[in-house]
Structure 1
Amino acid sequence: MKTDPHPQSAGDPLTFAQDVALEGPPEVEFNPGIASRLPAKSSAGGALLRDGQGRILFVVPRYKTVLDIPGGITDDNESPKAACQREVSEELGLRLELGRLLVVDWVPRNGVWRDSHQFIFDGGVLTDEEAAAVQVHDEELGGLKFLSLDEAAPQVHPSLLRRLKLALAAADSGQTIYAEFGRPL
Structure 2
Amino acid sequence: MSALHAGDPASFATDVLDEGPPELEHVPGVASRRPTKTCAGGALIRDSAGRVLFVVPTYKAVLDIPGGMTEDDESPKAAAQREIQEELGLSAALGPLLVVDWTPRNGVWSDCHQFVFDGGVVDGAVACDPELEGVLYLTLDDAKPRIYPSLHRRLTLALAALESGSTRYAEFGREV
TM class, shorter-chain normalised? over 0.9
> Hey, what's the Cα distance between the residues in 2 that align with 1:90 and 1:115?
24
Does residue 99 of the first structure (1) align with residue 90 of the second (2)?
no
Residue identity in the other structure for 1:67? L
The aligned counterpart of 1:7 is none
For residue 121 of structure 1, give the secondary structure of its aligned residue in structure 2. Answer: strand
The structure having more radius of gyration, on CA atoms, is 1
Residue in 2 that maps onto 1:67: 63
How far does residue 14 in structure 1 lie from its aligned partner after superposition?
A: 5.3
Q: Which of 131, 142, 146 is residue 151 of structure 1 equivalent to? A: 142
Question: Could you tell me how far 1:137 is from its partner in structure 2?
Answer: 1.2
1:161 equivalent in alignment to 2:152: yes
The one-letter code sitting in structure 2 at the alignment partner of 1:119 is: F
SS at match of 1:15: helix
Moved over 3 A (4+): none
Rounded to whole Å, the distance in 1 between the matches of 2:121 and 2:64 is: 18
C-alpha separation between the residues in 1 aligned to 2:11 and 2:82?
A: 19
- Aligned partner of 1:136 in structure 2 is 127
1:19-168 equivalences under 5 Å are: 19-126=15-122, 131-132=123-124, 134-168=125-159
Shift of 1:143: 0.6
How many residues are paired up? 168
Residue 52 of structure 1, CA deviation:
1.0
- 2:130 corresponds to which letter in structure 1? E
Structure 1 alignment gaps of length 5 or more: 1-12
User: What is the letter of the counterpart of residue 183 of structure 1?
Assistant: R
TM-score (norm 2): 0.94
Q: Match of 1:109, SS?
A: coil
CA distance in 1: counterparts of 2:85 and 2:136, whole angstroms: 17
| TM-score for both structures, normalised by structure 1 | 0.89
CA distance in 2, matches of 1:54, 1:169: 13
Residue identity opposite 2:63 in structure 1: L
Q: Distance in 1 between matches of 2:68 and 2:97?
A: 15
Aligned mates of 1:108, 1:42 — CA distance in 2? 11
1:176 corresponding residue in structure 2: 167
1:72-126 Cα distance to aligned partner (Å, 9 max, x none): 0000000000000000000000011000000000000001100000000000122
Work out the percentage of aligned pairs sharing the same amino acid. 65
Q: Deviations over 1:37-60 (max 9, x none)?
A: 000101000000001111000000
Aligned residue identity for 1:108: P
